[in-house]
Chains A and B, each alone.
Chain A
Amino acid sequence: MDETALILVELGAVFLGLGLLGRLAAKIGMSPVPLYLVGGLIFGNGGIINLAGITEFGVIASEIGVILLLLMLGLEYTARELVTGLKSSWLAGVVDLVLNFTPGVALALIMGWGFTGALVLGGVTYVSSSGIIAKVLSDLGRLGNRETPVVLSILVLEDLAMAVYLPVLTATLAGLSFLGGLRAVGIALATITLVLLAALRFGPQISRLIHSSDRENFLLKLIGAALLVAGLASALQVSAAVGAFMLGIAISGSTAHSATKVLEPLRDLFAAMFFVVFGLNTDPTTIPAVLPMAIALAVVTSLTKVATGAWAAKRAGIGIPGRLRAGVALIARGEFSIVIAGLAVASGAITGELAALATAYVLLLAVLGPIATRVVEPLSKPFLRSKKTPIPSTIDDTPLMD
């Protein structure tokens, strides 16, 4: 078989395999991200089958995957939501950052992975998976719950924090000096402010520029703009992903909605590739050695997330069962922890041990987070009663299903 034919066969096998894994995930109602990672582990370095031929394509594809992931994240939010979120729940954001960044930093320092390692692992433990959490809350019918806006605003702040964190990370990984790093952060902060202001003022105009009623046209303009902005951001050492995120925020209204529809299949394809490539680059034989550490980190950072959510929910005047629901919902880590670890691995600035730890950690929490969210209510019910006065059944006498 010539090289091209081999690459096509390998890619075909990978995507087909992922499709089957994705179907399995949908059947048991879980996020496909951990299964994609497992898929990558099986196919990659030291795995059962070695697919070396697709690395070159994989690198570019996974770069595009990250850009699309962040672009779609930006599309989900309007600038107004971000500004309101920042104003109303910044304190919860700070508590979240302190409680959940610290465990990763501490472990990395104990392990002697240095400043870069600490920055990477802190990011991995900090950021919850907004994708997984939004899906689980919606599946469980909790969108009408009072604690749900609290959970969502914490996720908004984390995603916004990524816009500052990723440039810092990129600068550090590139080995920039302190001043260089400061410059990257300065550019990032200035861009965020500018984009938010521009999106608030000129959202409709920006959207009109990109918008097109023709699907094909629209898709090309979107992808073109995203890659261009990402490339420019990357050239300024501000991280390509952040550029795409900013573009997503600037596009608003119905344009954002149709952009989401057009981009979704592409995002799914390239993001799947990204997770697989990350798995490919991790040697599965290194995982058992870091598993105890990953479990310990998962336990600690689950507790810190529960504390964060419960604290924020308490401030919002929510009863004890609701506080617990809010806290547990935040446990799930997923795509962004992998994005962070992926950036670090690609730069070659971190040890294989850290990459293996991040993989095992995300695998654990991407699976256990949603399960914990599901069972926290029935499990805690016998022990907890809301301190809020229940509505007496005499004035509200419908025997509903609750």
Chain B
Amino acid sequence: MNFEDTSLPGLGVRREITLASGRRVGVVILRDGTMQLIISQREDPDACAAAIPLSVEEAGAIGAMLGAPQLVTQLTDQHRDLPGVNTQQFVLSHESPYVNQTLGDTHLRTRTGASVVAISRSGRVFPSPTPGFELNAGDVLIIVGTSAGLENAAHLINDG
């Protein structure tokens, strides 16, 4: 899928994709680095139904939200031949005791048998994170394990 970039002289750039339905969805990236999420109107495709200002963190969180499922789908496809192995994603909430702790501090593999294969943060994917990887609130953890292991992992991430 190609981004369509349109220069907004003096202000920044508009970057968008046209969905199969015909709607334009994209961002306006301003010179000062701030962004607006834009969605075109239904009756007047030239106009916007919404132009929502996003901070860098918010934009990253949306990117991670939209990008992580794709990664999970890919991994699930790869594990199709291994019965009993599942891939799932978990968002590290603000309340989690592991915010600002390292991945090693969770002792996830020792305690649940499941392992973190990738972490998606602000639209970037960090594959095979090491135990020293520091976790931030909002990180999406992609975890591979058995159903029971994943269930325990969910508990562990939220409640410690």
A interface list, Cβ under 8 A from B:
76-77, 81-82, 84-85, 130, 134, 138, 141-149, 152-153, 155-156, 257, 318-319, 321-322, 325, 377, 385-386, 388, 390-391, 393, 395-396, 400-402
B84 close to chain A: CB less than 8 A: no
Which one, B32, B36, B46, contacts A319 given CB within 8 A? B46
Chain B residues within CB distance 8 Å of chain A: 6-12, 14, 16, 19-24, 26, 28, 30-32, 36, 38-51
How distant is B45 from chain A, measured CB to nearest CB, in Å? 6
Q: List 6 A-B contacts (CB under 8 A).
A: A82-B9, A85-B9, A144-B28, A390-B42, A390-B43, A391-B45
Whether A130 pairs with B10 at a CB distance below 8 angstroms is yes
Interchain CA distance A156-B9 in the complex, whole Å: 7
Are B8's CB and A321's CB within 8 A?
A: no
With A147-B46, A400-B39 known as contacts, the answer to whether A141 contacts B51 (CB < 8 A) is yes
Known: A322-B47, A391-B42. A81 touches B10 (CB 8 A): yes
A152 in contact with B51 (CB, 8 Å): no
Q: Is the beta-carbon distance between B11 and A388 smaller than 8 angstroms?
A: no
**Are A144 and B10 touching (Cβ within 8 A)?**
no
Q: Are B44 and A81 in contact (CB under 8 A)?
A: no
Selected from B11, B19, B39, the residue in CB contact (under 8 A) with A143 is B11
Q: Given A143-B36, A144-B48, A391-B23, are A402 and B43 also a contact pair (CB < 8 Å)?
A: yes
Complex contact B45–A319 (CB within 8 A)? yes
| B19, B21, B41, B44: most-surrounded residue (chain A CB, <10 A) | B44
Q: Are B46 and A322 in touch, CB under 8 angstroms?
A: yes
Q: Cα distance A294–B1 when bound, in Å?
A: 53
Chain A proximity of B109: nearest CB distance (Å): 41
The CA-CA distance from A390 to B43 in the complex, in Å, is 5
Contacts of B49 in A (CB 8 A): 400-402
Query: Chain B residues near A152 (CB, 8 Å)?
Result: 8-11
Complex CA–CA separation, A390 to B45 (angstroms): 7
**Known pairs A144-B36, A395-B21, A400-B39; A149 contacts B8 (CB<8 A):** yes
